[in-house]
Amino acid sequence: MKTAILGTGYVGLTTGVCLAYLGHEVTCVDTEEEKILGLQRGECPIYEPWLQELLELSRPRLRFTTRCEEAVPGAAVVIIAVGTPPRADGGPDLNYVRQAAEAVGANLEGEFTVVVNKSTVPIGSGNWVGALVREAYAARRGRKPPNCFAVASNPEFLREGSALYDTLYPDRVVVGADETRALEVLYSLYRPILEQSFTPPTFLPRPEGLGAVPLIATDLASAELIKYAANAFLALKISFINEIAQLAEKVGADITQVAKGIGLDARIGTRFLQAGIGWGGSCFGKDTAALIATAREYNLAMPIVAAAREVNYRQRERVVEKLLAELKILKGRTIALFGLAFKPNTDDLRDAPALDIARRLVERGAAVRAHDPVALARARREFPDLGIVYCDTAQEAAAEADAVVLVTEWRDYRSLDWDEIARAMRTPLVLDGRHFLDRARLEQAGLRCVGV
């Protein structure tokens, strides 16, 4: 099926590469010329496990261009997957979506095209995108479009770091459209995933026992709300366990055991109950803020979602408070941050707790040294002015440090040479922000380990 994807960020590129792998003819469009040139050479612009490999396998059916007119005409499906970065007031900036919708309208050609909103847009945006497409079509051709397109919402649920796995083996596919024709086209697009009829790549085997994937076919508004509600629920699950963790600390309970004990209740589930510094990334913060903003437009308060946000962002300050309680004075101290990316297996730094913690520590007069196995280059490039000394190795970051804070649970950090780290430090203190390190091993190295 001829498919155009506008936007080659985490979502657009992953979707494009997967759809091409599944046999569709995919053209990915991005306005950033450098990125497109790199992709044409087969270079993946982001760090995402297996994306480079799948890109190689899918290349015969994948094209990259900066020109919408090379992708949209004749496409059965056009997927809008451009960024919706947060504005200063917290709401999403919809300029890229507007530009994409207008470009689609100006280039629509052929029998019937489904215009899919994959970018996380405010509820109600499906209708807005439809209107923009119609207007741009009319402006280009001097007449209203015939019944040649329909807008659908198809939210993504992929996690960075396991984006390909989540795309090929999703828990469900959600498609919202007010026209049956659009649902039928999208069923055909996703058939190999829904029926799990494709041959898996060797490096991403199908999980054992995975059968047909459920399809939730619904109206536009419901699909849009599903995306927000899912992210808000996951975010509040994490904030809930972090709130319980505070009490656990007071009463002397072990939060990992508590999380396991409640999570094994099938109604609750064990996932997303990992206590620690809390969530960051491009979705949870932005989407919970947008959900509250949408509700406000209807005079509705969302106290549960608001509390989840409050608890989450407090966690970052708690790291500073913990260090203060341990070290008494932060001015003149050196703190080493292990991990900068908002989670392991990605180089994404959006709303990364590490950067926020670094800012707070620098404000209090501490020197901050940081390491990340993957996101270091990006941090150096995008955040040169935070006052952080970026270090190429964890050992280097720990030199003369009064504390190490484990911010991101990169697997490599567990197996570091902790004896060497202990020798390099000034004060043998480790704050394990993710309950991830092997405490016994650290203690053996003479380090005192505390949690959040």
**Residue window 107-146: x/- pattern of binding to ligand UDX, with contact defined by CB under 6 A:** ----------------------------------------
Helix (H) or strand (E) segment spanning residue 218: strand 215-218
Among 160, 372, 402, 432, binds ligand UDX (CB under 6 A): 160
Q: How far apart are CA 371 and CA 300, in angstroms?
A: 43
The encoded tokens of residue 154 equal 């198809």
Q: How far apart are CA 22 and CA 14, in angstroms?
A: 12
Residue 217 touching ligand UDX (CB under 6 A):
no
**Residue window 173-212: x/- pattern of binding to ligand UDX, with contact defined by CB under 6 A:** ----------------------------------------
Could you tell me which stretch among 153-161, 185-193, 302-310, 399-407 binds ligand UDX (CB under 6 A)? 153-161
Q: How far apart are CA 442 and CA 303, in angstroms?
A: 40
Helix (H) or strand (E) segment spanning residue 450: strand 448-451
What 3-state DSSP class applies to 336?
strand
The encoded tokens of residue 149 equal 């397109």
- Active site annotation includes 283: yes
Residue 157 touching ligand UDX (CB under 6 A):
yes
Among 71, 158, 248, 447, binds ligand UDX (CB under 6 A): 158
Shortest separation between residue 434's beta carbon and ligand UDX, angstroms: 7
Residue 169 touching ligand UDX (CB under 6 A):
no
Residue 279 touching ligand UDX (CB under 6 A):
yes
Among 284, 383, 410, 418, binds ligand UDX (CB under 6 A): 284
Backbone angles phi, psi at 264, to 5 degrees: -75, -10
What 3-state DSSP class applies to 448?
strand
Residue 40 C-beta-side C-alpha neighbours within 13 Å: 11
Write the DSSP string, 48-83: -TTHHHHHHHHGGGEEEES-GGGTSTT-SEEEE---
89: left (phi over 0), alpha (psi -120 to 50) or beta: alpha
Q: How far apart are CA 270 and CA 255, in angstroms?
A: 13
Could you tell me which stretch among 55-63, 155-163, 327-335, 368-376 binds ligand UDX (CB under 6 A)? 155-163
Could you tell me which stretch among 13-21, 81-89, 109-117, 269-277 binds ligand UDX (CB under 6 A)? 269-277
Residue 413 touching ligand UDX (CB under 6 A):
no
Pick the closer one to ligand UDX by CB: 122 or 280: 280
Residue 146 C-beta-side C-alpha neighbours within 13 Å: 5
Residue 342 touching ligand UDX (CB under 6 A):
yes
Among 30, 102, 156, 243, binds ligand UDX (CB under 6 A): 156
Residue 281 touching ligand UDX (CB under 6 A):
yes
Q: Beta-strand (E) ranges in 7-105?
A: 25-29, 62-65, 77-80
Q: Which residues lie near ligand UDX (CB under 6 A)?
A: 156-160, 231, 234, 238, 272-274, 276, 278-281, 283-284, 342-343
Task: Give the catalytic positions in this structure.
Answer: 283
